[in-house]
């Protein structure tokens, strides 16, 4: 029933994407790069930023929500009608990977996020000594996720590596699940 309602709602080829992750993961930098903005002037997001981009014939409304510990309890206010969740991980932050895993798996239990695609961006792959996507996949226990279609992409918010490819995956997954045409 939910998928039928989503298909009816999405006739205009519009997707609501929620971008979350711990603070300093690079969410805002990713959004700025996608929008063609200067990625060298980024400050922590205190609240949220909404950006809209036309991508491959689809209108992507990207909700970039701050990841500071004090803001995470407010994330639930942004879950409604989410088509895709982009979870951004700082691949250099080995000390907080367990926190990252707990937050992600907690989100996936949320009913209002059920059915949403999950794209994990393993950010900061341009930094020497970062965790690989295999290492992150194991640390985040991605293979245990059965409730959402997911994938992981290595990326760099500073260089743009794989950002468009990740968005393309989100759009393709949405086409397969949400659109009638």
Cα distance between residue 117 and residue 148, in whole Å = 6
Answering whether pTM is above 0.95, one says: no
Kindly report, residue by residue over 93-135, the tens digit of the pLDDT. Answer: 999 999 999 999 999 999 999 989 999 999 999 999 999 999 9
Of residues 40 and 161, more confidently modeled: 161
Cα distance between residue 131 and residue 115, in whole Å = 28
Is 68 among the residues known to form the active site?
A: yes
Number of residues assigned to the chain: 181
Q: What is the largest CA-CA distance in the chain?
A: 47
Q: Count CB atoms within 10 A of the CB of residue 156.
A: 23
Show the tokens assigned to 14: 């519009």
- Per the residue annotation, which of 68, 128, 134, 161 is the catalytic one? 68
Please report which confidence band the pLDDT of residue 179 belongs to, taking 50, 70 and 90 as the band edges: low
Q: Which helix (H) or strand (E) holds 35?
A: helix 27-35
């Amino acid at each position: 029933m939910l998928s039928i309602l989503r298909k009816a709602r999405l006739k205009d080829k519009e997707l609501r994407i929620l971008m979350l992750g711990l603070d300093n993961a690079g969410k805002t930098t990713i959004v700025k790069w996608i929008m063609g903005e200067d990625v060298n002037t980024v400050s922590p997001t205190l609240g949220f930023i909404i950006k809209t981009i036309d991508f491959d014939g689809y209108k992507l409304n990207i909700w970039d929500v701050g990841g500071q510990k004090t803001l995470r309890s407010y994330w639930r206010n942004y879950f409604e009608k989410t088509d895709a969740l982009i979870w951004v991980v700082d691949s250099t932050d080995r000390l907080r990977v367990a926190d990252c895993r707990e937050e992600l798996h907690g989100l996936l239990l949320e009913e209002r996020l059920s059915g949403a695609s999950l794209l994990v961006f393993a950010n900061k792959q341009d930094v020497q000594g970062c965790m690989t996507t295999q290492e992150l996949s194991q640390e985040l226990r991605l293979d245990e996720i059965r409730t959402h279609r997911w994938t992981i992409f290595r990326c760099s918010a500073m260089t743009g590596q794989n950002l468009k490819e990740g968005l393309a995956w989100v759009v393709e997954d949405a086409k397969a699940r949400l659109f009638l045409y």
